[in-house]
Structure 1
Amino acid sequence: MIDPKSLIIPHLQENKTCYVAYSGGVDSTVLLYEVGEAAKDIKCNVVAIHINHEYSKYSGQWEKHCKSFCKDYGLILKKFSFKSNNLKGASLESLMREKRYNIFEKVLSKDEILFMGHHLDDQIETLFFRMLRGSGLKGSSSIPAKRALGKGILIRPFLKLSKNDLIEIAKRKKLSYVEDESNNNIEFDRNYLRNEVISKISKRWPNYRKSLSKYIDNNKASYDFLSKTSSQELKNILVEEKINVEKLKKYDSEYQKILILNWLESKKFRLPSSQVLEELTKSFLNTKKTSQPKFIWGSKEKGNYVCLRIKKGFMSAESNL
Structure 2
Amino acid sequence: MLLEHLQHQLGDRRRVCVALSGGLDSSVLLHALVRLRDSVLPDLQLRAMHVNHGLSTHAVSWTASCEAQCQLWQVQFIPLAVKVDAREGGIEAAARKARYRALTENLLADETLFTAQHLNDQCETFLLALKRGSGPAGLSAMSAETSICGHPVIRPLLSLQRKQLEEYARANQLVWIEDDSNQDTRFDRNFLRLDVLPMLYQRWPHFAAATARSASLCAEQELLLDELLQEALDNLIDLQGSLSIEGLENLSAARRFALIRRWLASLGASMPSREQLQRIWDEVALSREDAEPQLRLGSHNIRRYRQRLYWLAPMQSLKDTVIAWQGQEVLDLPASLGQLSLTSAGQNGLTLRKPRVDEMLTVRFHASGEVNKVGRDRSRSIKKLWQELNVPPWDRERIPLIFYNEQLIAAAGLFITREALTSGPQEATWSLFWNTESR
Structure 2 residue runs without a partner (length 5+): 315-439
Corresponding residue for 1:21? 19
Opposite residue 245 of structure 1, the aligned amino acid is I
Corresponding residue for 1:246? 246
Shift of 1:126: 0.7
TM-score (norm 2): 0.64
Matched, 1:107 2:106: yes
More strand by share: 2
Deviations 1:257-276 (A, max 9, x none): 32123223334x22233253
RMSD: 2.5
- CA gap of 1:279–1:146, structure 2 versus 1, over 3 A, is farther
- CA gap of 1:242–1:181, structure 2 versus 1, over 3 A, is closer
Deviations 1:8-30 (A, max 9, x none): 312614xxx43211011111111
Deviations 1:257-311 (A, max 9, x none): 32123223334x2223325334323432222233343444333xxxxxx344322
Which has more radius of gyration? 2
Matches within 5 A, 1:50-65: 50-65=50-65
Corresponding residue for 1:283? 283
1:283 aligned counterpart, secondary structure:
helix
Structure 1 residue runs without a partner (length 5+): 300-305
- CA gap of 1:192–1:111, structure 2 versus 1, over 3 A, is same
Shift of 1:199: 1.3
Corresponding residue for 1:302? none
Shift of 1:60: 3.2
Corresponding residue for 2:233? 234
Deviations 1:215-251 (A, max 9, x none): 1111111111111111122134334443221221322
Identity among equivalent positions (%) equals: 26
Corresponding residue for 2:118? 119
User: Which stretch shows the higher mean deviation, 281-290 or 26-35?
Assistant: 281-290
1:174 aligned counterpart, secondary structure:
coil
Matched, 1:6 2:7: yes
More helix by share: 1
Deviations 1:107-143 (A, max 9, x none): 1344532111111111110111111111111000011
Q: Is the 8 A contact 1:51 1:81 kept in 2?
A: yes
How many pairs does the alignment contain? 308
Instruction: Using CA pairs under 8 Å that are at least 6 residues apart, name the structure with larger relative contact order, 1 or 2.
Output: 1
Q: Distance in 2 between matches of 1:56 and 1:310?
A: 42
Matches within 5 A, 1:1-321: 3-10=4-11, 12-13=13-14, 17-39=15-37, 41=41, 43-82=43-82, 87-89=85-87, 91-110=90-109, 112-240=111-239, 241-267=241-267, 269-274=268-273, 275-299=275-299, 306-318=300-312
1:138 aligned counterpart, secondary structure:
helix
Q: Is the 8 A contact 2:280 2:302 kept in 1?
A: no
TM-score (norm 1): 0.86
